[in-house]
Structure 1
Amino acid sequence: MPQDPFAWTVTALETRRAAGLLRTVLPRAATCGLLDLAGNDYLGLTRHPEVTSAAAEAAMRWGAGASGSRLVTGSTALHARLEAELAEFCGFEAALVLSSGYAANLAAVTALTAHDGLIVSDAYNHASLIDGCRLSRAPTAVAAHADPESVAKALDGHRGTGPALAVTDSVFSVDGDAAPLTALAGVCRGAGAGLLVDDAHGLGVAGEGGRGAVHAAGLAGTPGTVATVTLSKSLGSQGGAVLGPAPVIAHLVNTARTFIFDTGLAPAAVGGALAALRLLRREPERAGHVRAAATALYERLRAAGLEATRPDAAVVSVRAPSPEAAVRWAADCRAAGVRVGCFRPPSVPDGISRLRLTARGDLTVNALAKAAGTVIATAPAAR
């Protein structure tokens, strides 16, 4: 009998199971009756009638799929309209829509660097930015988290002839803390480097009317700044986009492999995102509701003695004593009617397990009280 070449995966799974790190896929029901603080539907728009109707209408008119890459048959008038309105809303000259936020980050990082350049990446950046750095094959320096001086030191040591690029999340997905964008932009200007900001957790939550953290920092539309966003969080749909100067976007159209060789974003997702963006523009107070909900949640958890992070946007995390404790804690919350996120190594850059709670702008006072009360009552230290 020939030896199974994949037998090693069984051992790997058992090792993960023993360490309390095994992940499984759990399909959710269409309606499950749980209070959801695990997803990223920050504005509560995923099921909004205007958004779902627009998605259905787009599918009926343009088809279930894009049918090809954006450069072949995958671009529709809806894609162009979303790009124009998204760029205008966020304060940039142009935008390019891709099939996911992950693809948008890969496109931006790989297309805006060179083998003789330099990337300076925050230590807590999202996996998509890290993978972009790896795929770019450019020399990469990892800067201390949210530390402009560390970025400045790395840029000062750049001896290559290619472009230098600093890469950061605007709001970090694990603890919900914000990057010092103004200071980082100053460092980049001084070094002649570009600044790429992943504003996935800022769009719809941060800044005036939810225009994002880059806009709030006064960096939208500046020559040295490029941003990426996702359409799957505040806009309740699917997909991602790169925002920046028109020549930069044109460069991505011609060089970014995750744009050129990937099937375009499905029309239904484009239509849904466009409807959500227009709804946010019409009801800008939604962004403030998210921030208020996150702050209220944080204050309740801290008052109970839990080690929660102060939110700069919608994310509040609560530290757990171990991976196993985090898994049990999340399961107990679910049993009590509240779904929360559970982050464990290697998903967390500091190796510390925690529950991750995402506030939504449509949460009522009673819902917030139930969520906080459930997390507090099921906390490992409370047993």
Structure 2
Amino acid sequence: MRRPVYGRLFLFAESRFATAKQSFLNTRKEWLYLTMESKKGKILPENRRKNGVTKPLLVMAHRGEAQMFIKNWQMSRVDFPFAEMFEQSDALLLICGEGMQNATAKTAAVCGAFRDQICEVLNFGIAGALDERLSIGDYYSIRTAYGELSGEAVFQTFTSADATATIDCISASRRVRNGEFARKLLPFAPIVDRELWGIASICKMFRLPFRSFKLISDVPAVENDCAPIAENAAVFSEKLFSFAEKIMPNSESGFAEKYEFTFPEQFHVTFSQRKQIENMMQSLCLKHRIAEIEILEKAGIAKIAHFDISPKQRTALLIESLNDMLNPFNALLKQRLKSLCEPLENAGARIKFARDFEDDSIEVTAKFGHPRHLQ
């Protein structure tokens, strides 16, 4: 006797649910294993850990753009299953592919697997000029990364670690092939690419500073043929490599030497805090072209060391000061908000803003014991 249709459907659904549940449990078990092994330091091959010394991750969309970096720095291929990667003693290089989806997924995979090695992310690549006043062949350091999806600008933006940058870039979800689309994007940024917003979003997730350098290759509102760009890939790669050598001139691969320093005894620094401080120091030294001792002086380490607070609190203040140096706009905003909220705090209220001002929400906590407290 055949079972009723609903009965068969129920058994089928029950079977699929059991399969999905087992798959979830297996995935969770594997994730827990990887997490535990990562904490033991066993996930990354020992020959890649470099005794804990970190290095920058270069992210480029196409192999053509990266060819001169690979050749001139004699980079070797990394056996990594999720993306095309290369490395040498001073740098990692990821070929992420075109588009925000590729850039987001592959940058996330690499940052997760090589987190202990990466000090910052550097994006080099060609881009289009939405503003016709920009010249083909010019280089620009990007200040803010905007994103576009389904014809609308994405709410969240990301600021690079280059405080000297003055020009923005918007990452489009599709190629800009006509003047109408270019004019729609122009109010947000004068430069357009396909990957930066995705890369920057992952840097935000992993708390890694990023910088982006774009070489103008075309003006989409005037030219919409990609063939000349592909044909000139070697030329663009040579120009990008020459620019990279100029802005990072201190070592074999062009990158500044790694910094090692000992924290004063007045500070209590955990392992994770040490990595965080080292990453920020690396980025600040690269950005300002000054020695680590000058960075620490600017951060006020000597003054903080004499504060009558606990060693842990001194470390927290030092991290906050270094972070303000990396993100001066946020520092100014915090200072302004502090002065505006001071009357409320003096009255006993606690004010909390969204982390890194990701949105415009504000949380106010206060205790009222009498109607006059509301006056």
- Indicate the TM-score class for this superposition, using the shorter chain for normalisation: under 0.3
TM-score by length of 2: 0.24
TM-score, structure 1 normalization: 0.24
Which structure has the larger Rg?
A: 2
Higher RCO, Cα 8 Å, sep 6+ = 1
**Which has more strand, going by share of residues?**
2
